Amino acid sequence: MPGKRAPLDEAALTEYAARLLGGRAYSVGEMRTRLRRRAAKVSDVEDVLANLRRLGYLNDQAFAGSFASARLENEGHGKARVLRDLRQRQVAPALAEQAVASAYKETDETALIEAFLARRFRGKNLAVLLREEKHLASAWRRLRYAGFSSANALRVLKRYAADPAKLDALENEPVEPTAEDH
């Protein structure tokens, strides 16, 4: 069968894990999933994971902390987005929440929202652009998908809206990613 890889023993799994970690950081859960796909014996996976933890190559607390800080500093995402992304990377919910709370403890979400809007609509006059209902709705969806609280997102957008009351109707809209959000 073309493309089918031979199962790996413990030594080969360790080498595979090292190659993966050379590319980017992984949570323990992500690494477990990747190793299980390639392992000859499931028991080898836990042995490799234990060894990687012991050597300091896998540490969910450090991973979650650096992931949350990077998302805040580099992408300016809100707390909810970072939490969602950490959970997708199989970090324990309590650990993810702790890392996000620590990373965002001194962050002014309103200022973060303003910076996010300025980046997303770079070169455009927000006061003019967001007077149009369709652009205002689009900005609302982007802010919510980016993980910002609805209260602060509304507070910022109401400054730009021609009719701030119309924003209240958007609050119950489902949050779906757009092609531009990826």
Tokens of 133: 């209902």
Instruction: Tell me the β-bridge partners of 8.
Output: 39
pLDDT confidence of residue 133: 86
Query: Taking the alpha carbons of 103, 105, 106, 111 in that order, is the dihedral positive or negative?
Result: positive
Average pLDDT, the chain: 90
Distance CA 179, CA 182 (A): 6
pLDDT confidence of residue 182: 47
Distance CA 132, CA 85 (A): 31
Distance CA 171, CA 153 (A): 10
pLDDT digits (tens, 9 = 90+) for 80-89: 999 999 999 9
Which pLDDT band, with edges at 50, 70 and 90, does 166 fall under?
Answer: confident
pLDDT confidence of residue 75: 92
Q: What is the mean pLDDT of residues 145-169?
A: 87
How many alpha carbons lie under 13 Å from residue 79 in its C-beta half-sphere? 19
Taking the model in full, what pTM does it have? 0.83
pLDDT confidence of residue 81: 97
pLDDT digits (tens, 9 = 90+) for 121-138: 898 999 899 888 889 889
Say which residue, 47 or 180, is predicted with more confidence: 47
Which pLDDT band, with edges at 50, 70 and 90, does 168 fall under?
Answer: confident
pLDDT confidence of residue 61: 96
Cβ neighbours around 43 below 10 Å, total: 10
**Domain boundaries of the chain, sorted by first residue:** 10-54, 60-104, 109-177
